[in-house]
């Protein structure tokens, strides 16, 4: 029997998620959206079924607004919620998206209580916190997709600046999904060569700054709406590591209980993702400067979570 992937939200990111999951034959795909948008998601699902002969994939892809249709899902990926428009911060979405995430949490809890859940809705760290709190799911079953995207952006910008293959750049980004995130140049390598040996401080500062503002750069270009290709791919990487027990080490927003001196908050940390979901959080020995930056991002995430009041 095929695996089942439930996508809650069939907008910009949801539709790319559906296409990637189909092309990768990750399983059958159900795209759930609000009743007012159910026909467009049914249409998108049908369009993807009709792409299958050329895409060479076998999958049943359906659109729905009924949570019963996600029953038995192995993975649930949540993008339901408003995206940013130019001039907005992720936190500006809080009051609307918290209501949406609350409804989604109820639907997922009732119909797919064993699924591995990946939250993308912004403000990410607060929305994954809320989803986890309202479902009461074990911490290994819920992660937020943020660091995987932030690290991809960091690697992409380094590749552009250095003129080297992006595949040879390894590094990670810790912290909240926003301008306070903490890229770690000290631990970044290019084909095994330390970044700090081959790049000057100006270049590193430029890339770190661009990474922190990368989501906003895209929002400003789009005008209305936020990034969708790269967030979708980042979530697929996490889902695939779970479904195939690949045990990839990916930066995700995970519930920390003492790690990095963080307790009771979801924050971006290096996570081992395998068949048991979040199997381990790796702790890095940080420098004093990195610790101070992590403290700033932690306070920012805490302030947003405090506003959630759930
Ligand atoms: N249940 C299910 N789907 C919902 C609900 C709900 N309660 N409320 C809204 N949606 C759907 C919308 O109808 C829309 O189809 O969520 C979808 C969101 O799609 P887009 O508006 O295109 O937004 P997208 O770019 O996909 O981003 C979604 O992810 O990265 C974050 O900041 C981004 O919060 C935003 C989310």
Positions annotated as catalytic residues are 177
Ligand 1 in reach of 144 Cβ (< 6 A): no
Per DSSP, which regions of 19-167 are E strands? 28-32, 61-64, 75-78, 116-119, 142-144
Q: Which of 36, 41, 79, 214 to mutate to test the pocket of ligand 1 (most atoms within 8 A of CB)?
A: 79
**Rounded to whole angstroms, what are the CA distances from 10 to 6, 29, 259?**
10, 11, 34
Q: Domains in the chain, please, with CATH? A: 4-144 (3.40.50.720), 147-306 (3.90.110.10)
Pocket flag, ligand 1, residue 172 (CB < 6 Å): no
Q: What is the DSSP string of 271-303?
A: EEEETTEEEEEPPP---HHHHHHHHHHHHHHHH
> For ligand 1, what atom is nearest to the CA of residue 100?
7
Output the pLDDT for position 99. 94
How far does residue 76's CA lie from ligand 1's centre (Å)?
14
* pLDDT averages per 10-residue partition of the chain, 310 residues: 97 98 98 97 98 98 98 98 86 90 98 98 96 98 97 98 98 95 98 98 98 96 94 98 98 97 96 98 97 96 88
Number of helical H runs and strand E runs in the chain: 10, 14
For ligand 1, atom 28, the nearest C-alpha belongs to 79
* Residue 195: count of CB within 10 angstroms of its CB: 21
Integer Cα distance of 46 and 282 in angstroms: 41
Atom of ligand 1 nearest to the CA of 10: 15
pLDDT in the model for residue 143: 98
Tell me, in angstroms, the distance from the centre of ligand 1 to residue 11's CA.
6
Q: Which two tokens stand for residue 97?
A: 């998206």
Judge if the beta carbon of residue 225 lies within 6 A of ligand 1: yes
51 lines ligand 1 (CB under 6 A): no
- With a 6 A CB cut-off, is 37 part of the ligand 1 pocket? yes
β-sheet bridge partners, residue 280: 272
Position 310 scores a pLDDT of 73
């Amino acid at each position: 029997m095929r695996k089942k992937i439930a996508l809650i939200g069939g907008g910009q990111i949801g539709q790319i998620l559906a296409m990637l999951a189909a092309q990768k034959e990750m399983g059958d795909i159900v795209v759930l959206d609000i009743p007012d948008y159910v026909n467009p998601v049914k249409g998108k699902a049908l369009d993807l079924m009709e792409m299958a002969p050329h895409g060479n994939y076998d999958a049943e892809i359906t659109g729905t607004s009924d949570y019963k249709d996600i029953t038995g899902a192995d993975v649930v990926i949540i993008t339901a919620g408003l995206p940013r428009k130019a001039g907005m911060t992720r936190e500006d979405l809080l009051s609307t998206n918290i209501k949406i995430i609350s409804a989604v949490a109820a639907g997922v809890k009732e119909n797919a209580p064993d699924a591995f859940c990946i939250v993308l809705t912004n403000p990410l760290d607060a929305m994954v916190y809320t989803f986890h709190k309202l479902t009461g799911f074990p911490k290994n079953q819920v992660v937020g997709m943020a660091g995987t995207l932030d690290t991809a952006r960091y690697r992409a910008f380094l590749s552009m600046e250095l003129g080297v293959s992006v595949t040879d750049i390894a590094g990670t980004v810790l912290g909240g999904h926003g301008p306070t995130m903490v890229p770690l140049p000290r631990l970044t390598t290019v084909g095994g060569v330390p970044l700090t040996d081959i790049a000057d401080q100006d270049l590193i500062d430029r890339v770190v700054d661009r990474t922190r503002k990368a989501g906003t750069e895209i929002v400003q270009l789009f005008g209305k709406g936020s990034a969708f290709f790269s967030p979708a791919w980042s979530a697929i990487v996490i889902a695939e590591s779970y479904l195939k027990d690949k045990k990839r080490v990916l930066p995700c927003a995970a519930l920390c209980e003492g790690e990095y001196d963080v307790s009771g908050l979801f924050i971006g940390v290096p996570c081992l993702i395998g068949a048991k979901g979040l199997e381990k959080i790796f702790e890095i020995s940080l420098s004093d400067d990195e610790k101070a930056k992590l403290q700033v991002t932690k306070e920012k995430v805490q302030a947003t979570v405090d506003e959630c009041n759930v």
